[in-house]
Amino acid sequence: MAEFTLELNDDQKQVRDWLHGFAADVIRPAASEWDEREETPWPVIQEAAKVGIYSLDFYAQQFFDPTGLGIPMAMEELFWGDAGIALSIVGTGLAAVGVLANGTEEQIGTWIPQMYGDADDVKVAAFCSSEPDAGSDVASMRTRAVYDQAKDEWVLNGTKTWATNGGIANVHVVVAVVDPELGSKGHASFIVPPDTPGLSQGQKFKKHGIRASHTAEVVLEDVRIPGHCLLGGKEKLDQRLARARERATSGGERVKNAAMATFEASRPAVGAMAVGTARAAYEVALDYAKTRTQFGRPIIDNQGIAFQLADMRTQIDAARLLVWRASWMATTGKPFTSAEGSMSKLYASETAKKVTAQAVQILGGNGFTREYPVERMHRDAAIYTIFEGTSEIQRLVIARTLSGMPIR
């Protein structure tokens, strides 16, 4: 088991510097254009694929880093470049995590490579969980999966929303209800292969921030998929459902649903994304405060500005520490007995919103214009307290974990 450390080793430092260089040289120069276009930045994704950043091998290396710091380090550097473009580069990872968390070895080996494609033919994947009437309330999910035993096929019907890469993905991972009576415990995850009839893109959302990342509805109309596309297999699902039915009225051991297994694994990574955006805004504000003069001196000479920057840096470092702790715990198999994963996501996302707002304020009128990147960073930061569990949901998870009570 790797000991917890705050010092990156030489290999990790090389990867960090490589990612930072790509973010500075490729992502940042393209950030404003793709934010304005509100389109998937395919050329940037392809550049990332060419150098090996957008690839199964790269994410596998970071995911299996024994210290747990590979993924958060990578997320922070890419999102330091730009949140919208970075999310387009890493968005496939959520679907891949869904397969890793719930799939068999054969499914992992079959489907994850198809999610990425290769440098000459880049592909993306989508994880589809939220619905128009079921975001944080996963128990209200309506998308149904019905097993056709005669054909060994699953039939999916429903509408998913807020899906990153939804409709344009090569592979969709869809969470659906297989036993409505079990609530969230009656869910399962399914692979929808490329070009499957019945799957279509619904509304594409025009967003406040992360506008270079494609977000849309996914409509499923009598989508038939082979039995082997049920993640984990039917035998495992039947066993899990049987246990859930036995415990439904006994108050026994909690059975995780498919969506929550994915979100628990990804929350510290989202926290790292938020740290990257916050750090980027802080650095712009610091440089600006040291060079902008008013009344004959740099504005950082004023305590009102200097103290804000001191608080910003302190909060960023504290957020990173929470993210690194949660990532190390997850990798080394230590349980989140105090909801440390939710803690990291909560604090880092709230920090990103606060720090980017302070950066806009420090730049004054300039910060309110698109001539400076903090305006975009502030818009982008708003998403961190919303997706993959709102701040309110994170607080609920933390409070329930600490108290053992069904707080509502």
Beta bridge partners of 173: 127, 191
25 class by beta-carbon count within 10 Å (0-12 exposed, 13-18 middle, 19+ buried): exposed
Q: Which residues are catalytic?
A: 388
DSSP codes of every residue in 45-89 = HHHHHHHTSSSHHHHHHHHT-TTS-HHHHHHHHHHHH-HHHHHHH
Q: Identify the sign of the CA torsion 248, 398, 390, 92.
A: negative
DSSP 3-state of 10: helix
Neighbours of 50 (CB within 10 A): 14
- Are 143 and 259 a contacting pair, CB within 8 Å? no
- For residues 157 and 144, give the distance between their C-alpha atoms in angstroms, rounded to a whole number: 5
- For residues 352 and 185, give the distance between their C-alpha atoms in angstroms, rounded to a whole number: 33
- The Cβ-side half-sphere exposure at 365, using a 13 Å CA radius, reads 0
- For residues 325 and 319, give the distance between their C-alpha atoms in angstroms, rounded to a whole number: 10
- Strands 121-122, 117-118: parallel, antiparallel or unpaired by DSSP? antiparallel
DSSP codes of every residue in 262-302 = HHHHHHHHHHHHHHHHHHHHHHHHHHHHHH-EETTEEGGGS
- Are 259 and 183 a contacting pair, CB within 8 Å? no
Neighbours of 117 (CB within 10 A): 20
